[in-house]
Structure 1
């Protein structure tokens, strides 16, 4: 059985498990929350969403924060615990690690600079960073960095298991050193020939932003996106491994000190290996506001916004399936409609933003996954996506 069929059957099975209808779902206006519940129930979709996040903490997740919005109506849900030690309820306004959702912010800043004529998407990235990108990768364009068609392999990082990575969780990684490590290796394919989703293109994009502006990547994101949109709970942590302000704890299943397998608190974990590709900390309210503004053309304006909704006409490097990633976003047909968005994973935290192209329905979630960077999609996160948008089209 090929990978595409297997994946579709897996998604369908998950959808049926929570009783999701095949067609688009109606979202009536949100009712006032019940004092006895941490969700706001609406039918029919609200009950499906509430069912998805009921019963946390579980083996898959310890908490979930969910916001569904758009012109079709709204729904809010919070379940699970703030931490396993006290067992107190999860904070619905908690900050969390957004992981690769960061890439959407990075792409937006690059596209803003392109609209100002300060970056040419068709110019080789080496033209901006000749001291960092070798001639081997001299043909890689800025656009190819953003849509993962550059052919640059991942940087070599120490460790092979989650236990080894946990032991080095406070290591500080320099983005320039990561780029040098990556570009010292042979290319995976000729630029523009295939697509391989990796962080390295966005690490280079962050350095490109700094070179062009003469400013830090973090300040450019804050000045161009966070500040104008009033995203006061979203920030880059820099070298700090902690989440500042209110947050729910993250946990990861791993081998413990006594040799048994169980959950370890991984809330404190540095994100410098992600940087411009995955270090942002945010809230569901901030990410929902960002998603609405982005899809409405208020972050990237004019024709350059279409870069975020244009898939390159190449195949995936590993699966051979059509490319699924654009500049910053990815696309999946769900419930008969194109759904664009981005997922992210940092240890203890899975996050996502998603929306129909017209903004009729949006989804933002944070799921405190117990295997946030595993090979398979977290079951709670997957069911939330299906409950919001419907089953995948064949």
Structure 2
């Protein structure tokens, strides 16, 4: 047993296909003030030359009750800063390995949007096409007005599957295998949210269908197209679509989820419920290369790239203005400057990419949050974002 600040005595457990298994935690892993785990210092990469006391402080003190580790890469006109802190495994207290992989969650949508926009640039589809033109057996006739563009900017009105929204159900079904077709069929049992193009509601559904669209048009898997069109040409060796594999291959930090007063190791988890929307794995270095290449026009041709920086002229379902474009989200700073970003969360992992429009300023991070799917931004991520903005 060990103590996490704010949680009292907890047991670190791991999950496998036969259930939840308790893991004995050595006394050296007690997480508290002055303990060995709390004394882990941030590791700063020698690849980057920038110094940042603020960023070092932002990720110091891990693991704590909110996160067990963090990885960050910030690029400015003056250079870059890259570092990591915390532990990769609470059982061994091992540090986060260099080039550690992690689940990027909805950052996957940026890759999927880029592939669809490439297909549009090749005239293999039009963003104004009806989705049913290419996938007639997927959406019923009542959804004939839904266009490809609306899939990407979350204005399609497609409903989401009505699944239990609790961690107990999620843990019990973490190894379930879903197909995109099954997800869509389950979702379409519910009424449409709104008319096509009338409002914006950020969900996974548009991108799950977009992944099916990629496969229908190319004749190849969505993961294969991501590899052929993006990760291969850019040399992103640590970025991949896991498919049916619930594990993270290669060096990585374990992800944990608080369940009551217990920490559960949730590193192994099937991602088939979010194909093309939230299933990919990457590293901070790879995501930095991808973000720079994307924003500077080396992934999507300029004529189509503007779709990623154009907000639809509709209201969000919450009543505020739309903030999501094709793959990205706009954030307006107090100075009036707009930064374009995409965050992602899977159980155990919170991540994000963000950049100025010209790509000159970039922030990439991964935090193994103990409540990654909770409401709002994690405390660790907030500190990282504020520190990164201070480096501009």
In the TM superposition, 1:166-315 aligns within 5 A as 166-255=171-260, 261-315=261-315
Long gaps (5+) in structure 1: 1-35, 256-260
Distance in 2 (CA, whole Å) between partners of 1:334 and 1:65 is 24
Shift of 1:179: 1.0
Distance in 2 (CA, whole Å) between partners of 1:95 and 1:56 is 18
- 1:225-262 deviation digits (Å, cap 9, x = unpaired): 0100000111111111100111110000003xxxxx12
Partner residue, 1:162:
167
Partner residue, 2:24:
none
Distance in 2 (CA, whole Å) between partners of 1:390 and 1:180 is 46
1:64 aligned to 2:63?
no
1:362 aligned to 2:365?
no
Distance in 2 (CA, whole Å) between partners of 1:331 and 1:277 is 18
Shift of 1:111: 0.1
Q: TM-score, normalised by structure 1?
A: 0.86
**Helix, strand or coil at the partner of 2:150:** helix
- 1:24-56 deviation digits (Å, cap 9, x = unpaired): xxxxxxxxxxxx851369999822211110100
Partner residue, 1:150:
156
Long gaps (5+) in structure 2: 1-40
Partner residue, 2:56:
50
Q: Does the CA-based 8 Å contact 1:156-1:178 persist in structure 2?
A: no
Partner residue, 1:21:
none
Distance in 1 (CA, whole Å) between partners of 2:71 and 2:199 is 35
Distance in 1 (CA, whole Å) between partners of 2:73 and 2:49 is 15
Q: Does the CA-based 8 Å contact 1:351-1:364 persist in structure 2?
A: yes
Q: Which moved more, 1:374-383 or 1:347-356?
A: 374-383
Shift of 1:388: 1.3
- 1:268-296 deviation digits (Å, cap 9, x = unpaired): 11100111001001111100000010011
Partner residue, 2:101:
95
- 1:107-151 deviation digits (Å, cap 9, x = unpaired): 000000000000110011011101110012110000000000011
1:375 aligned to 2:381?
no
Shift of 1:184: 3.0
| Structure 1 or 2: more helix by fraction | 1
Q: Does the CA-based 8 Å contact 1:340-1:355 persist in structure 2?
A: yes
Kindly tell me: are residues 181 and 63 of structure 1, through their superposed partners in 2, closer, same or farther at Cα, counting changes over 3 Å?
A: same
In the TM superposition, 1:333-348 aligns within 5 A as 333-334=332-333, 336=335, 337-348=337-348
Distance in 2 (CA, whole Å) between partners of 1:181 and 1:233 is 33
Name the Cα RMSD after superposition.
1.8
**Helix, strand or coil at the partner of 1:276:** coil
Partner residue, 2:110:
104
Distance in 2 (CA, whole Å) between partners of 1:49 and 1:232 is 27
- 1:35-86 deviation digits (Å, cap 9, x = unpaired): x851369999822211110100011100000000142321111100011111
| Structure 1 or 2: more strand by fraction | 2
**Helix, strand or coil at the partner of 1:63:** strand
- 1:81-111 deviation digits (Å, cap 9, x = unpaired): 0111111211231110010000000000000
Distance in 2 (CA, whole Å) between partners of 1:348 and 1:182 is 25
Q: TM-score, normalised by structure 2?
A: 0.86
Distance in 2 (CA, whole Å) between partners of 1:252 and 1:37 is 22
Distance in 1 (CA, whole Å) between partners of 2:183 and 2:82 is 39
Partner residue, 1:332:
331
1:322 aligned to 2:327?
no
**Helix, strand or coil at the partner of 1:249:** coil
